[in-house]
Amino acid sequence: MAGATLAEKILARASGQPRVRPGQIVTCAVDLLMMHDSGGPRRVAQRLAQLGARVWDPEKVVVVSDHFVPATDLDGAEILALTRRWAREQGVRHYDGVGICHVVLQEHGHVQPGMFCVGGDSHSPSGGAAGAYMVGVGATEVTGVLVTGEIWIKVPQTLRIDCAGRLGAGVSAKDVMLHLCARLGMNNDAFVVEYAGEAVAALSMSERLVLCNMAAELGAETGLVAPDATTLAALSEAGRPFAGDAGAWRSDDDARFDARVVVDAAALPPQVAAPHSPAHSDSVECAPRGVRIDQAYIGACTGAKLSDLRMAAAVLAGRKVAAGTRLLIAPASTAMTAQAAAEGTLATLTEAGAILLPTGCGACAGMGAGMLAAGETCIASTARNFKGRMGSAEAQVWLGSPYTVAASAVKGRIADPREFLA
């Protein structure tokens, strides 16, 4: 009998079975549930009240306010107040509003190897960067998990993506994902994606988060990276060292993968996605040169972590944002903002002309500061560029890595970051 994949191992443990196979439907015990202010208490509080139910285990629930922070109108303020009040009333200790939920989970070490987690947000697969199985669901399923601590899952097939070689200068995990969106499309709903190979092993946890996060753009169930020394070091730094055997949470050498894809990471150039889909991606060298950029945005869970701010700073050092182009930067957490300030990264960005925004989902979700007007063109480090995603449905949104967004801000048009990093 063939060995088991990482996804199969996690689902077998969560469902209390010795072995699971693709297509099998299992009921899994949830190790952690994450909600945010937009899809959380304001959607589920009334349902729990109608059921006369409380949270099954407050210690396994994390609530993060990130969509409406800071409040820009009365409705937003009321949503934030409800979120705080509900968490307090339910005894949920793990509540904060100091960063974007997916980044906060990793930054605070909430997600650990081998865990089975559920998130009330479509980019919850980010948790796979820690070697956990984390799936995003809607408010109805979140309500069920809050009451029972369980959810059913159809065991997916595993798509193994091997990234050979090392990424070159000016190329990041975001470029890998844009390339995969174009190559594989966005309808891979039967699969969980497992990322491996030399390039993945060399990535930081922040960059692995991008790979797993954007499994959602591939349409996959979730994304996974097997835990290693990088994972363990990050969890220790977060103050939650992993007490188990990380080596147990990886696919067996003889595991059967339902599909395999090889990416030549060493040869991959920077990518950009044209409006209005991440699948409209190609090499930055193929992008039209005459497209003027009104706004460049470095933000969101995929694009404003400390490593992303450093990418942008590497391009912007000693340079200025082009006249007529605005560069907005919304760091992914307050801790990352503080560290970027302490090391001089923020100074580099603001001296180049970047405008610093509060931490939060903001313009990525079409909320708060940074939204686009009709006819405007933006290049963003976010994960999505669907029509109307960042404001007007008449706006044009391109996607790129923080390197590419920063280079485009300097040029005032879509640009190849490698010319600034030579």
Q: At which of 218, 238, 264 does a domain end?
A: 264
300 & 254 share domain: no
83-87: long-range pairs with CB below 8 Å, 24+: 83/37, 83/40, 83/41, 83/42, 86/40, 86/41, 86/45, 87/41, 87/63
Query: Is residue 242, in this structure, part of any structural domain at all?
Result: yes
Domain extent, residue 36, equals 6-264
pLDDT at position 154:
97
Beta bridge partners of 64: 36, 96
pLDDT bracket for residue 291 (50, 70, 90) = confident
- Residue 362: the pLDDT is 85
Domain count, the chain: 2
pLDDT of residue 367: 84
d(CA 226, CA 252): 11
**Share above pLDDT 70 across residues of the chain, in percent, rounded to a whole number:** 100
Same domain assignment for residues 352 and 325: yes
| Claim to verify: residue 278 and residue 258 sit in the same structural domain | no
Last residue of a domain, one of 264, 287, 316: 264
Res 140 pLDDT > 90: yes
Q: Do residues 258 and 303 both lie within one domain?
A: no
Q: pLDDT at position 226, please?
A: 98
Domain for residue 329, yes or no? Answer: yes
Q: pTM of the full predicted structure? A: 0.97
Closest CA to 66 of 33, 39, 47: 39
Residue 377's contacts (CB-CB under 8 Å, 6 or more residues apart) are 291, 292, 293, 294, 295, 395, 396, 397, 398
Domain boundary among 231, 264, 297: 264
Would you give the DSSP letter of residue 287?
S
CA angle, corner 315, sides to 269 and 287, nearest 5?
Answer: 40
Confidence band for 23, pLDDT divided at 50, 70 and 90: very high
Look at residue 158 and tell me if it is in a domain.
yes
At 170-199, the pLDDT tens digits run 999 999 999 999 999 999 999 999 999 999
The answer to whether residues 192 and 144 belong to one domain is yes
Residue 151 β-bridge partners: 28
Could you tell me if residue 183 is inside a domain? yes
Residue 3 DSSP symbol: B
Q: Tell me what pLDDT residue 40 has.
A: 94
Give the model confidence (pLDDT) of 67-80 as tens digits.
999 998 999 999 99
Verify that 247 and 319 share a domain, yes or no: no
Give the residue from 127, 146, 126 showing the smallest Cα distance to 138. Answer: 146
The verdict on residue 269 lying in a domain is no
Q: What is the CATH number of the domain that holds 375?
A: 3.30.499.10
> What confidence score (pLDDT) does residue 290 get?
77
Residues 408 and 373 in one domain: yes
Q: Is 283 helix (H, G, I), strand (E, B) or coil?
A: strand
Residue 369: per-residue pLDDT? 87
Phi, psi of 385 (to 5 degrees): -140, 35
Same domain, 197 and 327: no
Average pLDDT of the segment spanning 11-31: 98
- Which whole number is the average pLDDT over 142-154? 97
* pLDDT score of 96: 86
243 and 297, same structural domain?
no
Mark whether 107 and 30 lie in a shared domain: yes
User: Is the pLDDT confidence value at 1 over 90?
Assistant: no
Q: Give the pLDDT score at 278.
A: 97
Measured CA to CA in angstroms, residue 133 lies from 19, 128, 151, 382 at distances of 16, 6, 13, 23
* Sign (positive or negative) of CA dihedral 121, 123, 126, 128: positive
- The rounded mean pLDDT for the chain is 96
Instruction: Assess if residue 1 is contained within a domain.
Output: no
Judge if 234 and 367 occupy the same domain.
no
Q: pLDDT tens across 192-226, in order? A: 999 999 999 999 999 999 999 999 999 999 999 99
Instruction: For residues 258 and 285, state if they share a domain.
Output: no
Is the pLDDT confidence value at 422 over 80?
A: no
| The pLDDT of residue 316 | 98
Percent above pLDDT 90 for the chain: 95
